[in-house]
Structure 1
Amino acid sequence: MVVALNNSNDNSTDERTPLDVQNNEVEDIERIPEDHFKSESRQLIDRLIKLGVVVLLLLWGSLLLIKTIKSNDKESRDFPQYVFPNPNVTVDGKLKVAFSNVRNGTFKPEMHNIQWLEHTTGAKEDKGLYVTWKDDSYVIKSVSDKHYENVLLKGKTFIEDGHNMTIDNIVASPDLKKLLIKTNTVKNWRHSTMASYFVYDKSSLTFSHIGDHITLAEWSPNAMDIAYIQDNDIFLYSTGKKQTTEQVTSDGSSQIFNGRPDWVYEEEVFESDKALWWSPDGSYIAFLKTDETDVNEFTIPYYVQEESSIYPEMRSIKYPKSGQSNPLVDLYVYSINDKTSFPGHTSKYFQDSDNLITEVIWVGKDSVIAKVSDRSQDLLKVLEIDANKRTTEVTRIESSQGGWWEVTHDTFYIPRNQKYDRAENGYIDILPINGFNHLVYFSPINSTKSLILTKGNWEVVNGVAAFDYDTNRVYFISTKKSSTERHLYYVKLDRPGVVHKVTDTSEDGVFSATFSSSARFMLLTCSGPKVPYQKIVDLGSSQKDKHIEGNVLGETLYYLKKNEKLIESTELYKIPSKKFNELNLGKDANGDDIIVNSFEILPNDFDRNLKNHYPVFFYAYGGPNSQQVIKTFGVGFNEIIASQLGAIVVVVDGRGTGFKGREFRSLVRDNLGDYEAQDQIAAAAYYGSKSYVDSEKISLFGWSYGGYLTLKTLERDGGKHFKYGMSVAPVTDWRLYDSVYTERYMHTPQENEEGYDRSKVDNVTSIGQAQRFLLMHGTGDDNVHFQNSLKFLDKLNLNNVENYDVHVFPDSDHSISYHNANKIVYDKLFNWIKHAYLGVYLL
C-alpha cells in the first residue's frame, strides 16, 4: 500500500506506514487558505474517511472469500484449507470407524488357541485331545467327541499358606496327571518373566511349591521331572519326591546364563525366554551357556516407577551394539543318568569365537543338531552332537550366496520308520532353491545332500506346519498363490514336487493351522480378508464339505469361532475399503521394472472427480524380510485416519521386504535405508500426480524400523513429495543398535564403515525442508534406546532445524504403553496429522 500511495517520480523508497502517508497529505492540505479549508477540506476529509472504510471492507471481504473458496491452482494458495468429513456417519447413513469403537473392541475378532496333547498312537486312535479353559476350569476336550470332558483343575486361584494365589499360566504334564502352575509373574524383557511355580497333583488334590524368582520351568517327557532356572542356574525338581533333586549347573551369575537367553538372544535369536531343550525320552537336557563378561552395559534411567522417589532408578543391561563384543555361547548336554555335562565346542568350527547359535533341535534320543553361524550370518554350519558318544560333527556348511541367513526355528524332526519307507532319522529344513525359500529333506541326519520337496517362484512360510507319520504328508503354509496371501498345502516325502491344496485358493485368504500330534485333526484359522473364523477339520475323514469355506480337503466337524457379532458390526459400520495393488515404481539400475506390493485404504464417500482434494497418509515399516501388505482382516489406526480425516492411506512394501525372493530382499545388504526410501518416494510421486490428491498434504508415519525409514525418506526427499513425517522410536544410527540384528544386514562397522555412514540419519537440514515433522520415543526403551532420538535432536540443534515437535513418554519401552502412553501416542499422532492437513504448520 505504501508503494501505491507514493506517486513520486524519483527512485526513493517510501518506508512509511499508510498512516504516515495520510498525515503528509493532510499537511499539504494545510497550505490552502483557512476559509477554504473549513468548507472544502472538511468535505474532502469526510470523503477520504468513507473511501478508506470502503476499501478496508472490500479488502477484508476479499480475504474471507480467498479463505473459503479453494483455488484449483495449488501454487497460488497461501493458506490451503481442508474440510474434514462428518466424523460419525457416511453420506448413506452408515456409522464410521473411530477411536472409540476400535478401542472398545468392536472390530476385534475372537480367536481361540488350543493346546493339542501329544500321544503315541496312530491317526485312527487320535481323538484330537486338547486342553483349554472352560468356565474357569482347566479341562481336556476332544474334537471328535464334543461331550468328552476331563476337568484337570477348577478355578483360577488357589490358597497357599493362607494367601490367595492367582494362576497366570498352566502346563499339563505329558501324562496329564499333574499341572505346572505359574503365579506371581513379573515381566522382565519382551518375552522373559520371573515367577513362582507350583505343581498340582490331580490324584491327591495338593499343591507343591517348587520355588520363587524362577525364570523358566519345563516338563520332562517322563512326566515326573521339571527343569527350572533360578539365579541363572539349572535345577531338577522331582514331582515324585516333591523336592529339588539335582543342581545341573553351579556357575550361574549376572554374567553367566544357563538355559535362558540373555537380552540379545531373547530379542533377536530365540524370540522367547527359553534356551533349554529336553531330549525325546527325557534322558538328556541340551542347554545354552552364555558368557556376557565382555559385553558392554547400557544403563537406562527410570523416572516414574516410584512416585515418592526423587532419584531415578538405574537399570543396566548387557547390550552388544554393532561391532562390539558379543556374548560367548556354547551348547552343553547334561545326562540325567550320569549327572554330568559336556560342551559341544561349537565355536572351534569358526575363525572367531563370537559365533551365534540360532537353533537347537533333538533329532533322535541321542542326537541334537545346532545351527551355528558367524556373527554377520554369512555362513551357516549345521552341527550334530552325539549325547552318547559326546562328539560333535559338522554335517553341513551353507553359504548365504550374497544374502544373509535369517534366524529361523523351522527345522522339523522326521523319525525313521521302515513301514513307511523312512529308513533313517532325518529332518526337514528350509533352503533357498533358485532364490526362493523351500522345503528340503535330509536323511540320514549327517547327510550333506538334500531331497528338494518344493520349488518355484514362491516361498514356504515358517517351515513344516505338521507331519502325518502314517502317510508321509508334509503340511506347510506358502505364498504359492500370491505373496500377499497364505494358503495351506501338503507334499509327500515319497512324491517330492507334487503339491496338493488343502485350502481353497479360488478365494483370497490368509490361513494358519495347528494340528493334533498325528496330524489327523487341525484347527484352521482364516485371518482374512473377510471376517476371521476358526474351524476344526478332520483330515482323515473320507467325507468332504458340501459347502466349501476355507478347506478343500477333509471334513469340517464344527466351527470353533464364527465371529457372528463382528459380522453384524461390519454391517452397521462403513469400514473404508482396502484395495491391494502391485505398483510399478519405475526402472532399477539394471533397467528392470521395480514391482512392489501395496494397498490403499480409500476414505468413506471417496470421489475421484474431486480436484486436488485428498491428503495421503503413508504408513511404512519396511524392515528387511518384513511384510505389511498381506490380506488379513483388521480395523485400526489406518482405518481411523481414512474415516475421520478423509485421507487416502497407503502402505508399500518396497525392496528389502520379504516373501518375494532372495534377490528382492537382499538388495539392501550393507546399505539399509537407501532403496527403501527410494521406493517410498517413488510411491509418493505416483500418488501426488493423481488429480484428486492434494500433493501438499502427503505424509509418512512409521514406528521402530518404520520410524527410521520415515526419517531416511524425509532426508532423501528434501520436502519434494513428503511434506510431513511422524517418526516413533526410530533407530537413527545403526552403530547404536544391537549387533545380532544389525550385522545380519550391515556386517560390522569395522567391515562396512561407509555403509554405516550412509545408513545413519545424518542430513537433518534436508529433513528440515519438509513442512514439519514429529518425533516420539519412550525413555525406558530397552530395544531402540532413547539415545537414538537424543543424538538426532542434538543434530537438529546444531543445524538450526526447528520445524518439528517432540513428545517423550517417561519409562515406556519400545511398545510405548506405560502409564496410559499407548492411548496418548495414538491420540498425539492423530491430532498432529490433523493439524498438518488443516495447514496449521504452514504458518
Structure 2
Amino acid sequence: MIMGRSDDLENAEFFPMTRRRSTSGASFRSSTDSGLSVDTAYLENNEHNNFANGTSGVTDETKYRDVEDGEADVDEPFLPTSSRKPAREVARGRYSGRRTSPQTASETLQQEESGSGSTSAGRPVTLQQVLTGSWNPRSHAISWIAGPDGEDGLLVQRAEVGKQGYLRVDDIRSQEGDDVDSQSSRILMNKAVVQANGETLMPTFTWPSPDLNKVLLMSSHEKNWRYSFTGKYWIFDVATQTAQPLDPSVPDGRVQLALWSPSSDAVVFVRDNNMYLRKLSSESVVSITKDGGEDLFYGVPDWVYEEEVITDKSVTWWSNDGKYVAFLRTNESAVPEFPVQYFVSRPSGKRPPPGLENYPEVRQIKYPKAGSPNPVVNLLFYDVEKDEVFPVNVPDDFPDDDRIIIEVLWASEGKVIVRATNRESDAVKIFLIDTKARTGKLVRFEDIANLDGGWVEPSHYTKFIPADPSNGRPDDGYIDTVIHDGYDHLAYFTPLDNPNPTMLTTGEWEVVEAPSAVDLRRGIVYFVATKESPTQRHVYRVQLDGSNLQPLTDTSKPGFYDVSFSDGAGYALLSYNGPSVPWQAIINTQGDEITFEKTIEENSRLASMVETFALPTEVYQNVTIDGFTLQLVERRPPHFNPAKKYPVVFQLYNGPTSQRVDRKFTIDFQSYIASNLGYIVVTLDARGTGYSGRKVRCAVRGNLGYYEAYDQITTAKMWAKKPYVDETRMAIWGWSYGGFMTLKVLEQDAGETFQYGMAVAPVTDWRFYDSVYTERYMHTPEHNPSGYENSSITNVSALSEATRFLLIHGASDDNVHIQNTLTFVDKLDLSNVQNYDMHFYPDSDHNIYFHNAHFMIYERLSNWLVNAFNGEWHQIANPVPEDSIWDSVKRSVPVLTH
C-alpha cells in the first residue's frame, strides 16, 4: 500500500499505497475474534505520555514502518484519569458534547472556518514540536473482552495505581463505583515479570484465553513487516501464576502467530511457515502442515498479502465452536525477488561471512510488480478432532492466477463465508462453504467493472448475525457493505445464501469500515458514516430491518468521531477527534438514553497549548470541477491580512480512496508552514479520493495521475487569482503517492502555475509498484499498456519549465523502491534537465527514519521551501560580474619590473 495519511508523530505525508485504515482508539484485539492482545510492554513503559514532555512517542514498534492513510497515533492503554462527570449534555438517543472551539465557526454554503485557528498574540508552532509529537492528542485504547459467562463491559488492562495485580480484567461499570457484581473483576497476572524455563520474561504482548484461565505471553519480540512479528511464546496459568513454553519440545523456537481456540483448550500457531496445534491437555504438539518453507506459507501472509490484502499478520481463522481452523496456503515460488540493500546497518542481526564485512547487507523480498506472477493462494481447513487437513472445491471459482481471497468469516454449524476477487479487483464472488459436508457454492457475484467501471477495496468488517427466532431472526445471516446507488452502504443478507439483502442504509453518503458493532439482543446495528459531510464522521444506529436510523453523536455541529464497542455492544469508547481538542468517554448504549458515562481523556494540556500558540485558521470549502464537487481546506497564517500577498503551498496525497480533507484536530507539518513560515497551505481531495461516492472515486481508474493533476492545477489557478495570493510563489509537495502526484502536476503544468515542487519517495512508473495495489486501479499492464505509459512521469522536458524541484528517497525503501527515483533521474540526465535537487537517506525505508533522518528530512523540506520562496533559484540573466575579480586585482596591484 502506498500512501495514506500519517498521524504518527506529526500527520506527515509518507504513506504506503493503501486503503484507509481505522482511526479508532479501538481495542488491542488480536487478528481474529478468538483472541485479544494487550501490549504489556507499552503498558509498562508509557504510563505517562511522552508527548507531554515534548519527547518522541515513537517506539521501536512504529518508527520503522510505513504508516497508512488515516492510521491513528499509537494509543495509550486505558488508565482511568478521572472519576468526575464531564460537563456534557446527554440527549435522548444521542451524545452531545458541550466543548467549545477556540474560535467560533462561521458557515456558508461553500466555505466554513474551522475552530482550530487562534488570533491571539501567541507563539508560532515550531518544527521541533511537530516532529516530537507535542501537538499529538493523547488517546487510549480499550481492550474489550467477552466475559466467560456472557458478561458485557469487561476490559483487560494493567492495574491502575492503588489496585492489586499487574494484568486485570475489570468491569467498566465499577470504575464509577456503580452497584455491580465485583466478581466480574479478577487478576490475571500478579507481576509484570515472569520466571519460566530458567528465563526471566517481560512479555511484550499478552492474550488472555476466552475463559480467562490462561494467558498467552510473547517475549523476545522482533518486527518483520508492517503488521507481522516473531517472538517466543509461553502459556501462563492464572491459578498457579506460572508459565511454560508454548512448545516444550522447541522452547526457543520463534513463533510467527499464535491464536487461542474459542473453547480455550488449544492454541494453533505458526513457526517457520508451518502450522501446529498445542492442546492444553498435553504438552505434545501436533504438526498440521509439514512442507512450509521459504516459498510456501501456512496461516500467515506473504509480503504482498500482508501489505495490500489482509492488512494483518494472520490468515488463520478458528470456527466459532473450535472444531475447525481455516487458513490460507500461500505459494510464492513464482514471485520474482527484489533486492533491498542496507549500507550502514544489518537488519538481519547476523554477522557477515568472513571477507564480506565491507559489503552491504541485501534482503531479497518476494515482491510482485504490476504484471508479474502473484502468489497463488488457496483456502484449507483443519478438522481438530480428526487431525485432518482438507480443501473444499467450489464451482465458479477464480483460476489460481486470477484469485485474491480477501475475507473469511465463520458462521454457525461449520459454515463459512469466503469473499474473493479477480486479480484486477473488479469482480467479486462470495462463496458459502459447508465444512461438515465439504461442499461449497457461489451465493453472490458482483460485476463491478460493468456496474460503474470501478473496483472494490479489500475489507474485513463483514459481521455474522446468528439466528434467533425469539428475536425475529429465523435464519443465520450477515451484514456486508455493498454498492447502492453509487455509495457504500450496509446490507443485511439472510439466510446466508440469499443474494437479495435488506438495505440498512441508503442515501448520498457512505458508511465507513462498518458495521462497528451489533447488539444482537435488541437488533441494533451501530456504524460510522459521512451522512453530514464527507469531511465528518458521526456514529449512528439502525434496526436490523432498516428502520429507525438515529445519530448517536451530536450532528448539529461538525465532528469527527470514532467508536469502539464492547463485545455485547452495551458499552462503547467514544472518541471525539475534532475539529476542537479531542476527548474520549465511555458511554452506555443499552437504552434510548445514555445512562452512564466516564471521561477518560480531556487533553487539557493540549487545550492549554491551543490557547497560547498562534495557530493557523482552517477554511473548509468545496470546489466544483467538471461537475465533480471536491473538498478543500485552506490553512491561513495567524493574523491573516487579506491585503497582503502570501506564498501558497499545495500539499497533497490523493491516492485512490484516501482522504486528506477532514475535520480532525491536526497540528502537523502543514500547520507549522502556516504558523511559523507564514505561508498559506491548501489541500484538495481531487478526483479519486474517498468518501464522496463512487463517481468521484472511480473517475481515475486506468489513468492514475491525469485527472488528479488536472484538478490540482485548476484549483491552483483559482487561488493564483485571489487578491491575497502571490502567484509568483506557488509550490506543491507530497510524499509517496503524493510524491508521484507532485511530479505529475509539475509535468502537466509545465511551469505555468507552480514554480516549485518537493517529491518524497515518489512512484514514477506504475510498472515498478506492487501488483495487487496497482492493478486494482490500473488493470494489468497487458490489458492497459497505454494507461501505464500515460501515468508514468515521462515528459521530463515539461518539468524543466518549473523553476526548481526537490527529489528525496530512502535508499532502503521496501515499499516504493528507489528504482522509481533512479530511473526517473536517468530520464532527467538524458534530457539534460538540471533544475532539481536530490537527497537520499541511507538505510531508510518508506518512512525515512534511520539515523536521525526523520528530523533531517523535515528540516530540509522547510529550508528548501524558504529558499525557494526567497528567490534563491531564480535564474540570473548574466551571472558573471561585469568586472572580473581578477581584472580588479590586476588594477590594484602594481606591476613590478626588473
Amino acid across the alignment from 1:250:
K
Secondary structure (helix, strand or coil) at the match of 1:667 reads helix
Shift of 1:244: 4.1
Specify every segment of 5 or more residues in structure 1 that has no aligned partner in the other structure, as ranges: 1-88, 545-553
What is the match of residue 596 of structure 1? 630
C-alpha distance in structure 1 between counterparts of 2:159 and 2:296, whole Å: 38
What is the match of residue 30 of structure 1? none
* Equivalent residues of 2:572, 2:586 under 8 A apart: yes
* Equivalent residues of 1:454, 1:497 under 8 A apart: no
C-alpha distance in structure 1 between counterparts of 2:365 and 2:831, whole Å: 33
1:126 to 2:152 alignment: yes
What is the match of residue 516 of structure 1? 566
* Equivalent residues of 2:393, 2:439 under 8 A apart: no
What is the match of residue 142 of structure 1? 171
Q: 1:766 to 1:155 in 2, by over 3 A?
A: farther
1:153 to 2:189 alignment: yes
C-alpha distance in structure 1 between counterparts of 2:614 and 2:401, whole Å: 58
- Following superposition of structure 1 onto structure 2, how do residues 281-430 of structure 1 map, counting pairs within 5 Å? 281-306=321-346, 309-345=357-393, 349-351=397-399, 353-400=401-448, 401=451, 402-430=453-481
C-alpha distance in structure 1 between counterparts of 2:606 and 2:153, whole Å: 31
* Equivalent residues of 2:120, 2:614 under 8 A apart: no
* Equivalent residues of 1:298, 1:318 under 8 A apart: yes
1:168 to 2:204 alignment: yes
1:230 to 2:278 alignment: no
Shift of 1:106: 2.7
C-alpha distance in structure 1 between counterparts of 2:378 and 2:393, whole Å: 6
C-alpha distance in structure 1 between counterparts of 2:826 and 2:766, whole Å: 17
Amino acid across the alignment from 2:655:
G
Q: 1:440 to 1:121 in 2, by over 3 A?
A: farther
1:564 to 2:604 alignment: yes
Secondary structure (helix, strand or coil) at the match of 2:829 reads helix
Q: 1:507 to 1:777 in 2, by over 3 A?
A: same
Which one of the candidate residues 117, 120, 123 is aligned to 1:95? 123
Which one of the candidate residues 630, 635, 642 is aligned to 1:608? 642
C-alpha distance in structure 2 between counterparts of 1:475 and 1:576, whole Å: 35
* Equivalent residues of 2:369, 2:771 under 8 A apart: yes
C-alpha distance in structure 1 between counterparts of 2:422 and 2:653, whole Å: 27
* Equivalent residues of 1:117, 1:131 under 8 A apart: no
* Equivalent residues of 1:536, 1:560 under 8 A apart: yes
* Equivalent residues of 2:653, 2:738 under 8 A apart: yes
* Equivalent residues of 1:698, 1:724 under 8 A apart: yes
1:836 to 2:868 alignment: yes
Instruction: Name the stretch that deviates more: 402-411 or 426-435.
Output: 402-411
1:198 to 2:224 alignment: no
C-alpha distance in structure 2 between counterparts of 1:783 and 1:798, whole Å: 27
Q: 1:355 to 1:780 in 2, by over 3 A?
A: same
Per-residue Cα deviation, 1:778-817 (whole angstroms, up to 9, x for no partner)? 1111111111111111111111011111111111111111
C-alpha distance in structure 2 between counterparts of 1:192 and 1:350, whole Å: 28
Shift of 1:497: 4.8
C-alpha distance in structure 2 between counterparts of 1:245 and 1:257, whole Å: 19
Which one of the candidate residues 299, 305, 310 is aligned to 1:270? 310
Higher relative contact order structure (alpha carbons within 8 Å, sequence separation ≥ 6) = 2
1:465 to 2:505 alignment: no
Amino acid across the alignment from 2:224:
N
* TM-score (structure 2 length as normaliser): 0.80
Per-residue Cα deviation, 1:374-410 (whole angstroms, up to 9, x for no partner)? 1001110001111111112111111112111111112
* Equivalent residues of 1:535, 1:556 under 8 A apart: no
What is the match of residue 762 of structure 1? 794
Shift of 1:354: 3.0
Amino acid across the alignment from 2:276:
F
Shift of 1:102: 2.5
C-alpha distance in structure 2 between counterparts of 1:95 and 1:314, whole Å: 47
* TM-score (structure 1 length as normaliser): 0.85
* Equivalent residues of 2:471, 2:521 under 8 A apart: yes
* Equivalent residues of 1:330, 1:347 under 8 A apart: no
Amino acid across the alignment from 1:540:
Q
What is the match of residue 778 of structure 1? 810
Secondary structure (helix, strand or coil) at the match of 1:145 reads helix
Shift of 1:767: 1.1
What is the match of residue 17 of structure 2? none
Per-residue Cα deviation, 1:65-108 (whole angstroms, up to 9, x for no partner)? xxxxxxxxxxxxxxxxxxxxxxxx99953121112222343322
What is the match of residue 46 of structure 1? none
Shift of 1:151: 2.6
Secondary structure (helix, strand or coil) at the match of 1:710 reads helix
Per-residue Cα deviation, 1:459-504 (whole angstroms, up to 9, x for no partner)? 011121110111100111001111100001111113x154111111
C-alpha distance in structure 2 between counterparts of 1:541 and 1:452, whole Å: 24
Specify every segment of 5 or more residues in structure 2 that has no aligned partner in the other structure, as ranges: 1-116, 876-898
C-alpha distance in structure 1 between counterparts of 2:478 and 2:817, whole Å: 39
Secondary structure (helix, strand or coil) at the match of 1:287 reads strand
* Equivalent residues of 2:424, 2:779 under 8 A apart: yes
Secondary structure (helix, strand or coil) at the match of 1:555 reads coil
Which one of the candidate residues 691, 707, 714 is aligned to 1:682? 714
C-alpha distance in structure 2 between counterparts of 1:128 and 1:258, whole Å: 33
CA-based RMSD of the aligned residues comes to: 1.9
Which one of the candidate residues 461, 480, 503 is aligned to 2:553? 503
Per-residue Cα deviation, 1:192-235 (whole angstroms, up to 9, x for no partner)? 11111112111111111124311111111111211111010011
* Equivalent residues of 2:732, 2:757 under 8 A apart: yes
Secondary structure (helix, strand or coil) at the match of 1:294 reads coil
Secondary structure (helix, strand or coil) at the match of 1:466 reads strand
Amino acid across the alignment from 1:220:
S
Secondary structure (helix, strand or coil) at the match of 1:419 reads helix
Shift of 1:238: 2.6
* Equivalent residues of 1:279, 1:365 under 8 A apart: no
What is the match of residue 634 of structure 1? 666
Amino acid across the alignment from 2:822:
L
* Equivalent residues of 2:119, 2:614 under 8 A apart: no
Q: 1:757 to 1:563 in 2, by over 3 A?
A: same
C-alpha distance in structure 2 between counterparts of 1:171 and 1:133, whole Å: 16
* Equivalent residues of 2:190, 2:241 under 8 A apart: no
1:740 to 2:772 alignment: yes
Shift of 1:426: 0.5
What is the match of residue 11 of structure 1? none
Shift of 1:730: 0.8
What is the match of residue 115 of structure 1? 143
Shift of 1:163: 4.3
C-alpha distance in structure 1 between counterparts of 2:643 and 2:192, whole Å: 59
Query: Between Structure 1 and Structure 2, how many residues are aligned?
Result: 733
C-alpha distance in structure 2 between counterparts of 1:772 and 1:499, whole Å: 53
Shift of 1:663: 1.0
What is the match of residue 297 of structure 2? 257
Amino acid across the alignment from 1:126:
D
* Equivalent residues of 1:327, 1:354 under 8 A apart: no
* Equivalent residues of 2:342, 2:812 under 8 A apart: yes
C-alpha distance in structure 1 between counterparts of 2:693 and 2:402, whole Å: 29
Shift of 1:159: 3.7
Per-residue Cα deviation, 1:156-215 (whole angstroms, up to 9, x for no partner)? 433445544332111111111111111111111111111111121111111111243111
Shift of 1:247: 0.8
Instruction: Name the stretch that deviates more: 179-188 or 464-473.
Output: 179-188
What is the match of residue 484 of structure 1? 535
What is the match of residue 449 of structure 1? 500
1:436 to 2:487 alignment: yes
* Equivalent residues of 1:608, 1:692 under 8 A apart: yes
Shift of 1:573: 1.3
C-alpha distance in structure 2 between counterparts of 1:92 and 1:126, whole Å: 47
